[in-house]
Amino acid sequence: MSDRALYCYDYVNHPYPLVRDVVLANPHHVFRRATAAAAAQGAALHVRLAGVDIGKDVAIKITGVEHDTAYDRPATRILLEWQATNNPRIFPAMKATLVIFALSATETQLELRGSYEPPLGKFGEVLDAAAGHHLAEASVTRFIQEVAGWLREELMAPRPADAPPAAQPAAPTVTDLEC
């Protein structure tokens, strides 16, 4: 069996340091709120197929955070692994990197690169070739679009004058490493 690659991206019309700090303050909160996941520790991946919303809750584990560059710009890489919370053996587990980097002084890109191995052996490879890869690609694309959309809305929300901005955590480090 071979891993299947996935790639998607979206933009947030706010400066990189602000977006990075909000995500790093509590990435699981961002993922959960963006995807409207029911579980307190995860995200919901879903796609729309023939007018029906098909979804699966996943548990996300953050395996690392790196501060680096992407395309010669400051970047933060969040290393992720996720798997379905129910019946994980029949759904692909994913390993991915969420890259957050500056496109300009006022725009940030979120980029997700990942791979998965189709479950269920040869049968799973056939299912993946028929429709599974398309569904995986669509669900990951929707995930990154929902995260970017939530960040755009969250960062535009007015704050009370005496409240600190949500994007100003005490330190831009991840303390919650597991969903």
Asked whether 75 and 68 are in contact (CB, 8 A), the reply is yes
pLDDT band (50, 70, 90) for residue 104: very high
Number of domains, the chain: 1
pTM: 0.78
The domain containing residue 32 runs over which residues? 4-156
Q: Is residue 164 part of a domain?
A: no
Q: How high is the mean pLDDT of the chain?
A: 80
pLDDT band (50, 70, 90) for residue 133: confident
Q: Is residue 54 part of a domain?
A: yes
Nearest residue to 3 (alpha-carbon basis) of 97, 89, 128: 128
pLDDT band (50, 70, 90) for residue 37: low
Q: What is the H or E stretch that residue 96 is in?
A: strand 94-102
Sign of torsion, CA 15 21 24 29?
A: negative
Most confidently modeled of 24-28, 117-121, 157-161?
24-28
pLDDT band (50, 70, 90) for residue 89: confident
CATH of the domain at 13: 3.30.530.20
CA trace torsion 121, 127, 131, 133 (10° rounding): 10
